Chain A
Amino acid sequence: MLVGIDVGGTFTDGVLYGNGRILESVKTPTEDDNLQETIITVLDDLLRGRKGEDIRRLVLSTTLVTNLLAAGQGDEVALILIPGPGLNLRQLQFFPQAHIIKGATDFHGRITEALDGEEVRELGQKIVAAGIEKVAVVGKFSQRNQRQEGQVEEILLARHPHLKVVKGFGVAGELNFPRRAVTTYYTAMTQDAWGEFAASIKRALVQRGITSPIDILKADGGTMPLEASLNSPCETIFSGPAASVMGALALTMDEQTAVVVDMGGTTTDLALILQGKPLHASRGAMLGGYYSHVRSLALRSLPLGGDSAVRWTGEEISLGPDRLGPAACFGGPVATPTDAVNFLAGGHLGPLSLSQEALARVAHPAGLKTETLAQDLVGQVIEVLKDSIKEMFKSWEEEPAYRIWEIVNKQRVKAQRLVGIGAAAQAFVPILAKEVGCPAFVDHYSPVANALGAAVSRPTLSLQVHADTRQGSYYLSLDGIVGRCKGDLQLADVKDLARKHLRQLAAQRGIGQYADRSEVFLAEQFNMVRGWSTTGKLFDVGIKIAPGVIDDYKGV
Chain B
Amino acid sequence: MVNTFQTRDKELEKGLKERTGLVFFPAFDWAISPTHPEREERLLYTRDQIFEEGIMDLPQIRQYQPRLAQAKDIARVHFCVPHIESQATLAHRIAAGGALVLADALMKGEIKNGFALVRPPGHHAMRVVHGNRGFCNINNEPVMVEYLRQRYGLRRIAIIDTDVHHGDGTQDIYWHDPDVLFISFHQDGRTLYPGSGFGNEIGGPLAQGTTLNVPLPPGTTDEGILFVVDNLVLPVLEEFQPELVVNSAGQDNHYSDPLANMSFSARGYAKLNEKLAPDLAVLEGGYSIEAALPYVNMGIIMALAGLDYSLLQEPDYKPEYSREAPGRLEKIRVMVEGLREVFSHREKLVEEARRRLGPLAQRRRQIYYDTDQIREEQLETLRVCEDCPGYLTIKSIARGPGGRNRVYCVSIPIQACPRCQREGREKYQGAIRKSSRAYDHIYLQDRVADEYGQYNHSTGDISLG
Contact check, B41 vs A176: say whether CB atoms are below 8 A apart.
Answer: no
Do B5 and A85 have beta carbons less than 8 Å apart? no
Interface presence of A71 (CB below 8 A):
no
- Known contacts A529-B39, A534-B35; is-contact A373 B52 (Cβ 8 Å): no
Question: Can you list 14 contacts pairing A with B, beta carbon distance less than 8 Å?
Answer: A86-B311, A108-B290, A291-B57, A317-B1, A317-B2, A320-B5, A400-B63, A404-B30, A404-B90, A407-B67, A407-B94, A408-B68, A527-B39, A527-B41
Q: CB within 8 Å of B: which of A378-404?
A: 380, 384, 398-404
By a CB distance below 8 angstroms, the chain B residues around A313 are 4
- In chain B, positions 270-324 with a C-beta closer than 8 Å to chain A are 290, 294-295, 298, 302, 307-315
Contact between chains at A87 and B39 (CB < 8 Å): no
Q: Are B91 and A373 in contact (CB under 8 A)?
A: no
Query: Are B4's CB and A398's CB within 8 A?
Result: no
> Counting CB contacts under 8 A, is B326 at the interface?
no
Query: Is A526 in contact with chain B by the CB < 8 A criterion?
Result: yes
Point out the residues of chain B lying under 8 angstroms from A402, CB to CB: 24-28, 47
Tell me the A390-448 residues at the B interface (CB within 8 Å): 398-405, 407-408
> CA–CA, A526 to B30, complex, Å?
11
Q: How far is the CA of A141 from the CA of B128 in the complex (A)?
A: 45
Within 8 Å of chain A (Cβ to Cβ): is B435?
A: no
* CB-CB under 8 A for A407 and B40, given A91-B308, A319-B2, A377-B2: no
Q: Scoring A residues 96 to 115 as 1 if CB is less than 8 Å from chain B, else 0, what string do you get?
A: 00000000101110101100
List the B residue with the shortest CB-CB distance to A112: B315
B66 at the interface (CB under 8 A from A): yes
Closest partner residue, chain B, to A316 (CB atom): B4
- Cα-based distance from A313 to B6 in the complex (angstroms): 14
Interface size on B, residues (CB 8 A): 53
> A528 contacts the other chain (Cβ, under 8 Å)?
yes
Residue in A176, A317, A529 whose CB lies within 8 Å of B51:
A176
Closest-by-CB residue of B relative to A532 is B35
> With the chains together, A399 CA to B53 CA distance in Å?
19
Docked-complex contact B65 and A398, CB < 8 angstroms: yes
Question: How many chain A residues have a CB neighbour from B under 8 Å?
Answer: 55
Could you tell me the distance between the alpha carbons of A403 and B47 in the complex, rounded to whole angstroms?
A: 13
Chain B residue, CB-CB nearest to A376:
B2
Q: Check A175/B48 contact, CB under 8 A, given A87-B55, A317-B4, A400-B63.
A: yes
Q: How far is the CA of A319 from the CA of B3 in the complex (A)?
A: 9
- In the complex, the chain B residue whose C-beta lies closest to that of A525 is B40
Select A380's contact among B2, B30, B55, B90, beta carbons within 8 Å: B2
Cβ–Cβ < 8 Å partners of B35 in chain A: 527, 529, 532-534
Contact B68–A526 (Cβ < 8 Å)? no
Q: Which residues of B contact A106 (CB under 8 A)?
A: 315
A255 at the A/B interface (Cβ < 8 Å)?
Answer: no
Q: Which single residue of chain A is at the shortest CB-CB distance from B316?
A: A112
Interface flags for A174-187 (1: CB within 8 Å of B; 0: not) read: 01111100000000
Asked if A176 and B39 make an inter-chain contact with CB atoms under 8 angstroms apart, the answer reads no
Minimum CB distance partner of A176 in chain B: B54
Residues in A whose Cβ lies below 8 Å from that of B4: 313, 316-319
Check B28–A319 contact: CB distance below 8 A: no
Q: Is the CB of B44 within 8 A of A538?
A: yes
Q: Which residues on A sit within 8 Å (CB–CB) of B3?
A: 316, 380
Q: Say yes or no: is A524 at the interface (Cβ < 8 Å to chain B).
A: yes
Interface centre among A304, A384, A407 (most CB of B within 10 A): A407
Which residues in B have their C-beta under 8 angstroms from that of A529? 34-35, 39, 41
CB atoms of A403 and B48 under 8 A apart: no
A107 & B45 in contact (Cβ 8 Å cutoff)? yes
Are B54 and A85 closer than 8 Å at their CB atoms?
Answer: no
- Give the CA-CA distance A398 to B28 in the complex, in Å: 18
Q: Which residues of B contact A (CB under 8 A)?
A: 1-5, 7, 24-30, 34-35, 39-41, 44-45, 47-49, 51-55, 57-58, 63-68, 90-91, 94, 290, 294-295, 298, 302, 307-315
User: A175 is contacted by which of B5, B52, B63, B294 (Cβ under 8 Å)?
Assistant: B52
Does B307 lie within 8 Å of A86, measured CB to CB? Answer: no
A267 to B307: give the CA distance in the assembly, Å. Answer: 36
A-side residues, CB < 8 A to B, are 85-88, 91-92, 104, 106-108, 110, 112-113, 140-141, 175-179, 283, 291, 302-304, 313, 316-320, 373, 376-377, 380, 384, 398-405, 407-408, 524, 526-529, 532-534, 538
Which 4 pairs between the two chains have the least Cβ-Cβ distance? A112-B315, A178-B54, A107-B48, A175-B51
CA distance A176 to B48 in the complex (A): 9
Additional 20 contacts, C-beta under 8 A, given A175-B51, A177-B52, A407-B66? A85-B313, A87-B53, A87-B55, A87-B298, A88-B310, A107-B49, A107-B52, A107-B294, A141-B48, A175-B48, A175-B52, A177-B54, A283-B57, A304-B5, A317-B1, A373-B2, A377-B2, A402-B26, A403-B27, A407-B90
- By beta carbon, the residue of chain B nearest A143 is B52
Q: Is the CB of A85 within 8 A of B294?
A: no
Whether A88 pairs with B41 at a CB distance below 8 angstroms is no
Closest approach, in angstroms, between the C-beta of A385 and any C-beta of chain B?
11
Bound: A102/B57 CA distance, A: 24
Q: Are A86 and B29 in touch, CB under 8 angstroms?
A: no
Partner of A176, one of B44, B52, B63, B308: B52
A181 (CB) vs chain B CBs: closest residue: B54
Given that A380-B5, A404-B94, A527-B41 are known contacts, is A141 also in contact with B52, CB under 8 Å in the complex? yes
Alpha-carbon separation in the docked complex, A399 to B302 (Å): 22
Given contacts A87-B53, A317-B2, contact A403 B28 (CB under 8 A): yes
Contact of A400 among B40, B65, B68 (CB under 8 A): B65
Q: Which of A86, A104, A399, A528 has the most CB of B within 10 A?
A: A86
Whole-angstrom distance between the Cβ of A408 and the nearest chain B Cβ: 6
**B67 CB, nearest partner CB in chain A, Å:** 8
Known: A141-B52, A316-B3. A87 touches B26 (CB 8 A): no
Q: Which residues of B contact A108 (CB under 8 A)?
A: 45, 290
How many Å from the CB of B69 to the closest CB on chain A?
A: 12
Contacts of B1 in A (CB 8 A): 317, 376
Known: A304-B5, A529-B35. A88 touches B49 (CB 8 A): no
Query: In the bound complex, do residue A177 and residue B53 qualify as a contact, i.e. CB atoms below 8 Å apart?
Result: yes
Q: How far is the CB of B169 from chain A (nearest CB, A)?
A: 23
Q: Find chain A residues with CB under 8 A from B26 CB.
A: 402
A327 to chain B, nearest CB (A): 17
A107 to B27, CA, bound (A): 20
B67 / chain A contacts, CB cutoff of 8 Å: 407
Q: Assess the A319–B24 pair: CB atoms within 8 A.
A: no
Inter-subunit contact A86/B315 (CB<8 Å)? no
What's the least CB distance linking A92 to chain B, in Å? Answer: 7
Q: Which of A178, A373, A398, A526 is B40 in contact with, Cβ under 8 Å?
A: A526
Contacting residues, chain B, for A91 (C-beta < 8 A)? 307-308
Minimum distance in angstroms from A326 CB to a CB of chain B: 20
Q: Look across to chain B and name the residue whose beta carbon is closest to the beta carbon of A315.
A: B4
User: Chain A contacts of B52 at CB under 8 A?
Assistant: 107, 140-141, 175-177
Asked if residues A87 and B302 are in contact (CB atoms below 8 Å), the reply is yes
Residues of A within 8 A of B54 (CB): 87, 176-179, 291
List of A residues within 8 angstroms of B302 by Cβ: 87
Shortest Cβ gap from A22 to chain B (Å): 35
Contacts known (A304-B5, A376-B1); A85 close to B315, Cβ less than 8 A: yes
- Cβ-closest chain A residue relative to B258: A531
Which residues does chain B contribute within 8 Å of A319, judged by CB atoms? Answer: 2, 4-5
